[in-house]
Chain A
């Protein structure tokens, strides 16, 4: 990380990058706090512009949202609903802009020494939009909404380790887990597990009533959702806008047009090839964060030829990550190192050697596997990410020089996740990433993970995962997680060529503080955290 900062500092001081770009990159790498330590004069002068002020109406155009959306948080899976849900409702805990976990609807939490029993003290006097006061019953019902055999919730597997939830008194919730998990409070910040009120008809999941900074006005699935400020919001320094509107604009050209003509104030998923043009226009700017979102190319390690680690290593060396970053992403990302932990992950190991394009090494590994040449088929689709097909074709060219023939098979976007992902032995996919190492590993790389897309079953890895999960001592955990990343890199079944930045277009009047990188649009909390100048 320090190397990155030094490089940026040099680029800024010799004028090869603008002040704005410099600040963005520094924020992405190490946070604004790092600037003081670096002693760069003048860089911060206007980054410390006037503080937040109330008022205005924010209109956010997102490249997601469907007429099939619903307000039930168990079904939420797109940016549109994630933003709406975080606007209307709160969680027990929250990931702060600097990546730290802070209390939200709870005041504090405590763990038993084995990290198995967690006690959350709730904030007192918090009211829902309908006037009801928050208590332990609401929290328990909201969490249980995702549990149970007949639950269809996407958060069901997340909460499977929970064996019991009970209220000690009306402001204390105690959660018991099957085995220790030091990250449990992190799970409570997940966008599915927002807190809803219990009414006399049971848990109210459909009306949108929550404790959040905005009250629902009008929700039209797949089109638009409007909210107005909650005058009674318990957070004092948040929810600055008088009203907020989220618009579903799936076509990226339309989104850009809407921003250019002033129909919206913020857009996400800027088309990477046109980002520089938006940045140049008056009244608009591009901002980006480097989070955990990444491209994966999973290989089934139980299927020939990928069952031989030398074949996997050959493929890992046969891809020119830098070229994919430069051409497919136009530089809006950073290099991947064949493990899934990104810069917004507190346990990312920054001392692993970056794997580079090396056709000779690839050939060497092929020979070790007893092969002169290799022919594999890769399924790909832009359903995985914008530019996935281009990336596959580039990979095909790179691999040719290592004697590997990749047959690029373009699959239909419709049904890609049900028909290709997890089913074809070698394909292209992506992950939004997860805020903690354990969450990411247990979702996608543990032997029994439901989405173990590589069918990888490494004994040492799974042992480490178990012991790191219950370990409350931070340096010890870091050590274990570093070893796990090394294992994935050298033995795992996934190629992670690049991480994808979140690239947003903002009108100049839209202001924000330090931007969270854990998700798109300031950790999906832009309507709560941003303000109008």
Chain B
């Protein structure tokens, strides 16, 4: 176990370094974009003297490295700063929306991960037969369609025609019960499920089929074990490592890559906030949001590696 603790510590340190590099990168890339927060906020109505007053107040006249220094020292002391655009504390802006995004991703993942792995195992079990082929065609169809199109299909059939679900996810009202929150998030979650299932399902199938060619599987079959038992008990544990990595990758996508789905369902998640802040050049918000995204990637990959090690006795107990 000591080696795992050491690994975690090493990886966390590396993760912090990655976050630092990302933050520097974002600050200076955004400097190259045309316009600044003042100009973007005032848009068509910007005038020379109001712009000057605004830049003065927001401190945009100062060189970028000084602004970065202020930001990072604030960040390290736990102060995310305030939005340039509406002067609200960023922690408050990000807080609620981050919660919404994680809720949606969690809801989608709770359905998708077991579903994809089970389907993958069944596909391996019945490989090259009718079930395998049809499940492949269906999942590949949904991964090939653009997300917004899948979303519109669901809205058209389940919301407009059948009337079972609301056409948009209005979840920002106060005092919403957990059930109501879930109910209003079902369509976006279903869209995400349809979009990401294929990737995980096919990786599960391929990994298992790969293992099925090994001699020990032949032994198990010769012992007279049933095909399902061979796959679930003998093949699956040895196929876990690649599956875990794909799951982690997809979970990360469910958090950082869903801005299109958020827009279609008017779901108040962090993706929309970042896009809007970016177009308004509201740098402190963009920085803080990017940190969250980068941290999600770092942590999920770390988790995937550790779980892969823990499920592999050869790595757990190296000679």
Q: Which of chain B's residues have a CB closer than 8 A to the CB of A250?
A: 263
- Tell me which of A69, A153, A247, A253 contacts B86 (CB under 8 A): A69
A221 and B34 within 8 A (CB): no
- Name the interface size band of chain A: 35 or more
A218 to B168, CA, bound (A): 19
- When the two chains form their complex, are residues A257 and B167 in contact, meaning their CB atoms are under 8 A apart? yes
- A75-B86, A254-B265 given; A261·B50 CB < 8 A: no
Chain A contacts of B34 at CB under 8 A? Answer: 415, 418-419
Report the bound CA distance from A157 to B46 in whole Å: 10
Chain B interface main SS type: helix
- Residues facing B in A259-297 (CB within 8 A) are 260-261, 263-264
A257 adjacent to B42 (CB under 8 Å): no
Chain A residues lying within 8 Å of B168, measured Cβ to Cβ, are 247, 249, 254, 257-258, 261, 263-264
B87 touching A152 by the CB < 8 A rule? no
Q: Which residues of A contact B97 (CB under 8 A)?
A: 67
- With beta carbons under 8 angstroms apart, the residue of A70, A77, A254, A260 that contacts B42 is A77
A75, A223, A260, A419: the one contacting B268 at CB < 8 Å is A223
Identify which of A151, A254, A257, A419 contacts B263 (C-beta below 8 A): A254
CA distance A426 to B48 in the complex (A): 22
- Minimum CB–CB distance from B45 to chain A (whole Å) comes to 4
Asked whether B56 lies within 8 Å of A150 as measured between CB atoms, the reply is: yes
- Do A156 and B268 have beta carbons less than 8 Å apart? no
B212 beta carbon closer than 8 Å to chain A: no
Contact pattern, B 165-186, Cβ under 8 Å of A = 1, otherwise 0: 0111010111000000000000
The size of the chain B interface, using a CB distance under 8 A, is: 53
Q: How far is the CB of B144 from chain A (nearest CB, A)?
A: 21
Q: Residue A353 at the B interface, CB < 8 A? A: no
Rounded to whole Å, the gap between the CB of A156 and the closest CB of chain B is 5
State the CA gap A264–B96 with chains docked (Å).
Answer: 23
Are A450 and B155 closer than 8 Å at their CB atoms? no
A66 at the interface (CB under 8 A from B): yes
Mostly, the A contact residues are: loop
CA distance in complex: A341, B285 (Å):
40
Minimal Cβ-Cβ distance residue in B for A414: B279
Distance in angstroms between the alpha carbons of A415 and B47 in the assembled complex: 15
A67 proximity list for chain B (CB < 8 A): 85, 93, 97, 272-273, 276-277, 285
Asked if B104 is at the interface of the complex by the 8 Å CB criterion, the answer is no
**Residue picked from B45, B152, B266, most chain A C-beta under 10 Å:** B266
A153 to B57, CA, bound (A): 13
B160 in contact with A257 (CB, 8 Å): yes
Asked whether, in the complex, the Cβ of A222 is within 8 Å of the Cβ of B276, the reply is yes
Please measure, in the bound complex, the distance between the C-alpha atom of A222 and the C-alpha atom of B271, giving whole angstroms: 12
Most buried by B among A149, A154, A248, A257: A257
**Is B159 within 8 A of A154, CB to CB?**
no
Q: Is the pair A224, B50 in contact by a Cβ cutoff of 8 Å?
A: no
Q: In the complex, A251→B169 CA distance in Å? A: 13
State A149–B272 Cα separation when bound (angstroms): 34
Report the minimal beta-carbon distance from B16 to chain A, rounded to whole angstroms. Answer: 28
Q: Measured between alpha carbons, how far is A251 from B285 in the docked complex, in Å?
A: 23
Complex Cα distance, B85 from A340, in Å, reads 31
Q: Please give me the residue from chain A that is nearest to B278 by CB atom.
A: A414
Whether B50 lies near A153 (C-beta < 8 A) is: yes
Closest to B94 in A: A67
Of all chain B residues, which has the CB nearest A69?
B86
- Chain A residues near B46: list those with CB within 8 A: 417-418
Closest residue on chain A to residue B158 by CB atoms = A261
A351 within 8 A of B: no
Q: Are A218 and B174 in contact (CB under 8 A)?
A: yes
Question: Which residue of the partner chain B has the closest CB to A70?
Answer: B86
Verify if B83 is at the interface (C-beta below 8 Å from A). yes
Q: Confirm or deny: A220 has a beta carbon within 8 angstroms of a beta carbon on chain B.
A: yes
Q: Does A421 contact B (CB under 8 A)?
A: yes
Per-residue interface assignment for chain B, residues 30 to 51, with 1 indicating a CB less than 8 Å from any chain A CB and 0 otherwise: 0001110011111111111110
Q: How far is the CB of B272 from chain A (nearest CB, A)?
A: 7
Which of A75, A419, A421: most chain B Cβ within 10 A?
A: A75
CB 8 Å contact bits of A371-415 with B (1 = contact, 0 = none): 000000000000000000000000000000000000000000011
Q: From B86, B268, B279, B282, name the one whose CB has the most chain A CB atoms within 10 angstroms.
A: B86
A77 to B50, CA, bound (A): 14
A223 contact set on B, CB distance < 8 A: 172, 266, 268
Q: Nearest Cβ in chain B — how far from A40, in angstroms?
A: 37
B148 to A: closest C-beta gap in Å: 8
List the B side residues contacting A249 at CB < 8 Å. Answer: 168, 266
Cβ of A68 < 8 Å from any Cβ of B?
Answer: yes
12 A-B residue pairings within 8 Å (CB atoms): A67-B272, A68-B41, A69-B85, A77-B43, A152-B42, A222-B276, A224-B172, A254-B264, A257-B155, A257-B168, A261-B166, A417-B44
Chain A contact residues, CB within 8 Å of chain B? 66-70, 75, 77, 149-154, 156-157, 218, 220-224, 226, 247-251, 253-254, 257-258, 260-261, 263-264, 414-415, 417-419, 421, 429, 450-451
List 7 A-B pairs, minimum CB-CB distance, nearest first: A68-B85, A261-B167, A70-B86, A257-B167, A418-B35, A152-B54, A154-B45
